[in-house]
Chain A
Amino acid sequence: MQIAIRNPKDLLMGLLYFLVGGAGLLFGRDYAIGTAANMGPGFFPFYLSCLLLIFAVVSWARGFLLAGEPVGPIAWKAIALIAGTVIAFGFLLERAGLAIAMPLLLVTAAMASDRFRLDWRTGLGVVAFTALCAALFTYGLGLPIPVLGSWFG
């Protein structure tokens, strides 16, 4: 019998179950399990992690036995730009302030689309939206979101 990958999606899901279940066992190894009548903090995490490992094995078996479709192309550029710019926003918001973090987010995110052109209209839009956010969140709602952050004193 020839062994071949028939459903890559199941294999990947199996990997996910394995990683999450494995992490649950690894990081939860010091939590007391206790008994059914008196469960410790480790009771649920332990059994759930074991169940996830079983799911991993079943999922891998499905990947070799049941036919499926290929995963298809992954939009790595969009992932990197969108997630990266959100993380940068989180880092910069309190340090550099909204006036820097928001325009950076808008322009970097827009670069993920191939229809993006940086011209005066985009610039105007970026400035207008940043001003709207400042007016709404910082001044209107009084949330602790600085327009200029701690880097500027």
Chain B
Amino acid sequence: MDMLVNLGLGFATALTPMNLLYCFVGVFLGTAIGVLPGLGPVATIAMLLPLTFGLPPETSLIMLAGIFYGAQYGGSTTAILVNLPGETSSVVTTLDGYQMARKGQAGKALATAAIGSFIAGTIATLVIALFAPTLAGIAFQFRPPDFFSLMVLGLIASVVLANGSLFHAIGMILIGLLLGFVGTDINSGVPRFTFDIPELYDGLEFVAIAMGLFGIGEIIANLEQRAERTVSLKSVSGTLPTREDWKRIFWPILRGTGLGSVLGVLPGGGANLASFASYAMEKKLSRHPEEFGKGAIEGVAAPESANNAGAQSAFIPMLTLGIPSNPVMALMIGAMLIQGIQPGPTVMTEQPALFWGLIASMWIGNLFLVILNLPLIGFWVKLVSVPYHLLYPIILGFCAIGVFSVSNSSFDVYLMAGFGIAGYLLRKVGAEPAPMMLALILGAMMEEYLRRALLLSRGDGSVLLTSPISAGILIVCVLLVVTVVLPAVRKRREETFAEE
């Protein structure tokens, strides 16, 4: 069994005391920062990224994976306790999670989320170990047109999943693509839109923009809401699900995991799609659908499992193709590049210890999450209930010092401030910054692949359709667009978002 040998190698790498320690520290810090209201995984990871710079490659990626899972779980915690989703994928968790918390079952909801995430993480780890080699084999077949089409699919998926107007989501993508061209053009060496500012020659620092849009923008938006959020602290006792609860959440967790593992591979936020889809599915299948939205435990278990499985299988396109399917994966790629690793199909063959170590540490990260969180739930609740006016200056302080330390550049701090204002104002006029962020990441890459594709075909655009892989991906794109434009589906989509 190749897979067992590979996983064995992975665990041998991940299980050294030092790597375990850093994984643990990562999970702890990730949760601690991710729990703070208004900080989703992107801002959390960006903020903690500098902590990993001085470490050896394996350790640094293992710690990052820990931060990632911690941040995810921290986001769910805020969603359940204060009804404040840190990112799109925990929107669904607020529906029933917050209701459970209001009924005094906050502890049980948090435990369910942790257990569901752990089971999902375990299965998704096995799925990755099983399929990653095959997919890396396919990845070797990918040629420039295929890469381009895959990124188109990612952008289309992010439009479909964006909250609000489809038209403006596409508009935001165009802006993001244009911003992505800032910097030196790879082909000609011509500096584009750099205005002779040396910091811009390497392009806009993506971490600064992410922290601005999602960190600072959120702080300004929160300051505006005068009403104090009420934390549901009635009682956090009785944390473990009962036998009866186990019966109710067993299948939802497994179904959520399945959906998440499959949809997570899709670029452009498959994990979000999975959490919405699994919630809708459980509501359909449940014997008591009327409880959904009023604190049904399945409504927490299913989307949390789907979300976590999806978050994990999103590593597949990143590790095998080197394509980031969401901003979190872009941060991961950034961290790998800092360590001198170019993500792509060769990572698995040339640095097997690193590749399989990362996969093993995903599972260890999930395990720590359960071990850490079941006893610490009370502590996280206390952290969430610190008044916001005491918290946000500290969040801002971490953002500022964190973004500076990415490349020791004051310019990035200014950039973060600018995009903070932009993030707040965009939300005000009803445009979502998430598609723009993805487009910005993919912009220069897409240009490069389309250029190469058309250079090889001598300017013949039909190469996108004659390559079987590319054609297949484009068909999926068309199907996705059709389903959104069809009136019936469109109405469903609006209903799903209206439920928020």
Contact = CB atoms under 8 A, between A and B. Distances in A.
Interface in A84-130: 84-87, 89-91, 93-94, 98, 102, 105-107, 109-110, 112-113, 115-116, 125, 129
B455 A38 contact: yes
A141 B171 contact: no
A87 to B, nearest CB: 5
A45 B145 CA distance: 20
Contact of B178 (A35, A38, A45, A116): A45
B192 interface: yes
A90 B414 contact: yes
A31 interface: yes
Interface residues of B, number: 67
Contacts of A27: 193, 195
- Greatest chain B CB density within 10 A among A73, A87, A144, A145 is at A87
Interface string A122-153: 00010001000100010001111100000000
A133 B401 contact: yes
B14 to A, nearest CB: 23
Instruction: Tell me whether chain A's interface is mostly helix, strand or loop, or mixed.
Output: helix
A interface, how many residues as a size bin? 35 or more
A4 interface: no
A105 B416 CA distance: 14
Nearest to A75: B224
Interface in B393-441: 393-394, 396-397, 399-401, 404-405, 408, 410-414, 416-418, 420-421, 424-425, 428-431
Nearest to A44: B447
Contacts of A65: none
Interface string A12-33: 1100110011001001100110
Interface in B287-311: none
A12 B429 contact: yes
Interface string B320-346: 000000000000000000000000000
Nearest to A17: B171
Interface of A: 9, 12-13, 16-17, 20-21, 24, 27-28, 31-32, 35-41, 44-45, 48-49, 51-52, 55, 58-59, 62, 69, 71-75, 78-79, 82-87, 89-91, 93-94, 98, 102, 105-107, 109-110, 112-113, 115-116, 125, 129, 133, 137, 141-145
